[in-house]
């Protein structure tokens, strides 16, 4: 499963990228706001740092506006993925931008039917939001499984990009189901390394080593 980092914090991206943990980046208007930087400036910096797709989101609500904004965003770098919402206008924009050879990430997906429409429109990525479904006491992983089954049934090439990831368990479950990509905040990706038994075992080893009075260096 590919790891995308869901942030516009270039320092956090750089740290994970240096470890080989970054296959792409997703941003949205809220993340750009948190960065406090100009959208084109920060997106260009991220695109130069990361080899994989970098999602930059349109903010227009009509198809023509999304298409115009998508074309403008695509000028930033070759690895830009234009991000559009899963509305009827967004699907129209997806079809046009895809036909022009651009990568498109259709976001805010909350049903298998929506994902099927996005695949038919030629989306490069579909972004089902797991955490927001969980907030409504709906298992977001059920949606990932439904989309996986439908796409596999018919050979759709649209990649499932599990989004709204809240925990390491979300990452594990998305990988088990077969999501192509998971996008998560840097803190969630780093938390995947944590386990109480690892900490306990390391503490015991260090105490035993200290008792030997030895030094490796």
Dihedrals phi, psi of 5, to nearest 5 degrees? -100, 125
Q: Name the band, by pLDDT with cuts 50, 70 and 90, for residue 23.
A: very high
Averaged confidence pLDDT in the chain: 97
The whole model's pTM is what? 0.94
pLDDT digits (tens, 9 = 90+) for 74-107: 999 999 999 999 999 999 999 999 999 999 999 9
Instruction: Give the Cα separation of 186 and 16 in Å (integer).
Output: 8
Tokens of 38: 């100009």
- Specify the CATH number for 2-212; select among 3.40.190.10, 3.20.20.70, 2.40.70.10, 3.30.565.10: 3.20.20.70
Sort 183 into a burial class: Cβ within 10 Å, 0-12 / 13-18 / 19+: buried
Structural domain spans, the chain: 2-212
83 part of the active site: yes
- What pLDDT does 163 receive? 98
- From 40, 75, 83, 172, active-site residue: 83
Q: What is the mean pLDDT of residues 43-69?
A: 97
Asked if 45 and 75 count as a contact pair (C-beta separation under 8 A), the reply is no
- Nearest-Å Rg of the Cα atoms of the chain is 20
Q: What is the mean pLDDT of residues 159-182?
A: 98
Instruction: Give the Cα separation of 107 and 105 in Å (integer).
Output: 6
Asked if 31 and 210 count as a contact pair (C-beta separation under 8 A), the reply is no
Dihedrals phi, psi of 76, to nearest 5 degrees? -65, -45
Question: In the chain, what is the straight-line distance between the N-terminal and C-terminal CA atoms, in Å?
Answer: 39
């Amino acid at each position: 499963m590919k790891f995308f980092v869901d942030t516009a914090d270039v320092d956090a991206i750089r740290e994970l990228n240096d470890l080989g943990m970054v296959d792409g980046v997703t941003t949205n208007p809220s993340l750009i706001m948190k960065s406090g930087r100009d959208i084109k400036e920060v997106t260009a910096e991220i695109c130069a740092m990361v080899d994989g797709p970098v999602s930059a989101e349109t903010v227009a609500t009509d198809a023509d506006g999304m298409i115009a904004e998508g074309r403008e965003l695509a000028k930033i770098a070759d690895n830009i993925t234009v991000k559009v919402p899963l509305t009827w206008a967004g699907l129209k924009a997806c079809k046009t931008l895809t036909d022009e050879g651009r990568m498109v990430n259709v976001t805010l997906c909350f049903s298998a039917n929506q994902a099927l429409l996005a695949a038919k429109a030629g989306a490069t990525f579909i972004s089902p939001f797991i955490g927001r479904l969980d907030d409504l006491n709906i298992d977001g992983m059920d949606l990932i499984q439904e989309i996986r089954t439908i796409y596999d049934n018919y050979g759709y090439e649209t990649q499932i990009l599990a989004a709204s990831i809240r925990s390491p368990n979300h990452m594990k479950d998305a990988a088990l189901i077969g999501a192509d990509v998971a996008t998560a905040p840097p803190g969630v990706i780093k938390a995947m390394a944590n386990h109480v038994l690892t900490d306990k075992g390391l503490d015991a080893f260090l105490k035993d080593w200290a008792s030997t009075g030895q030094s490796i260096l």
